[in-house]
Amino acid sequence: MSKFTNKITVFLSILLFAFVFQAPPARSQAHVELPVCLEGTLNKADYKIRVPENWNGTLLVYARGYTGELPAEPDAAPGGAMGEETLLSRGYALAGSSFRGAGWAVKEGIQNTLALTNFFRGQVGNPDRIILWGFSMGSVIAFKSIEKYPNIYDGAIAGCAVGAGAPMNWDGALAFSLAYDVAFGWLPSWGSVGDVRDDLDFETHVYPALSLQVANPANLGLFEFIRLVCDLPKEQFYPNPLNPLEPNWLFTDMIYATEYRAELERRAKGPVAQNLDHVYTLSPEDIAILTALGVDFNTLLAEMNARRNIEARLPSRKYMERYSDYSGKLKRPVITIHNKADGLVHVANESVYWDTVFSAGKDEMLIQVYIDSVGHCTFEPLQILAVLNAMEYWLDSGTKPGPGYFPVGLGFVLPGFIQPPWPFK
């Protein structure tokens, strides 16, 4: 991930995991002597495989999140080495790929993850079950793979999930860009709002202007307009002056709207975002905030809605849809976990995904749970392990795990949380 993007945090001790969640009885299906630690390159992507001596028969295949300019070192579990050790101590086999290249490598991630799974089965052992889990961009890989390969993966866990699909989320990045443009003016050197410059670099081209604007207190109202029209949480939106390197939504969303969108446009050979079917609005509460700050929100909002004429290049849009939209026709169980407020991958992604699955008549195959916190993929280890435990129960019993598997004492939100609607309709 970029330095402006939160990583999944793992900070509780391995002993606490082992005490609270006891490992299931060991079973062995290995073709080779255990334990195993393999690292290498498969289909031009680095990989890591780890299998403990007391393998319980379950393989967890991890799909990583977005990385910026350089490919990531392969992790076999969320949380890196410490997360791996925790899961190995419970008997799980682990596998993860770096994918072929950095950026929006969803197509490559689907292919490399499948290749690694098949490599494991052929070279290491035949698992009793395979659970695919992906976080942030990796959730797209998990969603697409569980639909496309239900004969390979037995279940999927999607964290901080891009449940609305990539097209709607990149349209959200376009909305952020357009709001910035009407508030401050989009620099011509960045390309256009709808088609950013192919080699646009956030730190070199965007950050100098943005940082000066953020440092000026007189601009608070304009930034609040951007935040509110995009329905972003106030918590963690602005840079912390005491710790400038602390992640914040403003810089994180701007890097996605500029540099990372440029990378995707290069990959897709053209602009991918559109707003032809969008309407930009403000709630009465938003209007009250902006009025108190003296913002001419009517003019800004009218300017945004007057520019609902931005089109994507059709083949570029189709490329993104092919690998990053979902049918909802689930044949295997899926559990999603999301922070209640997420300024990068909006929690409204969950409502869109629910509608997709419900429309396909497959809602019995979906559980959605929420963490009572603000952040992107900022899950504590026991929360991640609780979701994994619930998936294991579901696969063992054939019965959906109930609310007791997601206790309030671990930070889960009580059942009945209503996801907000998608902001741009």
**Angle (CA) 418 423 425, round 5°:** 110
Task: Please list, in sequence order, all residues whose beta carbon lies within 8 angstroms of the beta carbon of residue 208, skipping any fewer than 6 positions away.
Answer: none
Alpha-carbon dihedral 259, 264, 268, 271, rounded to 10 degrees: -50
H/E stretch holding 147 reads: helix 137-148
Task: Please list, in sequence order, all residues whose beta carbon lies within 8 angstroms of the beta carbon of residue 113, skipping any fewer than 6 positions away.
Answer: 61, 63, 97, 99, 132, 141, 145
* DSSP letter assigned to residue 335: E
Q: Is 204 exposed, middle or buried (0-12, 13-18, 19+ CB in 10 A)?
A: exposed
Give the 3-state secondary structure of residue 13. Answer: coil
Walk along the chain (425 residues) in steps of 10 and give the mean pLDDT of each run. 38 37 51 94 97 97 92 90 95 97 96 98 95 98 99 99 98 99 98 98 97 97 99 95 85 98 98 97 98 98 98 98 97 98 97 98 98 96 98 98 98 93 89
What pLDDT score was predicted for residue 17?
40
Give the 3-state secondary structure of residue 131. Answer: strand
What pLDDT score was predicted for residue 424?
87
Quote the CA–CA distance of 87 and 377 in Å, as a whole number: 18
Domains of the chain, residue spans: 14-165+326-410, 166-319
What pLDDT score was predicted for residue 268?
97
What pLDDT score was predicted for residue 30?
79
Span between the terminal Cα atoms of the chain, in Å: 30
Topology classification of domain 14-165+326-410: Rossmann fold (3.40.50)
Rg of the Cα atoms in the chain: 22
* DSSP letter assigned to residue 357: H
What pLDDT score was predicted for residue 390?
99
What pLDDT score was predicted for residue 243?
82
What pLDDT score was predicted for residue 244?
72
CB 47 within 8 A of CB 39: yes
Length of the chain: 425
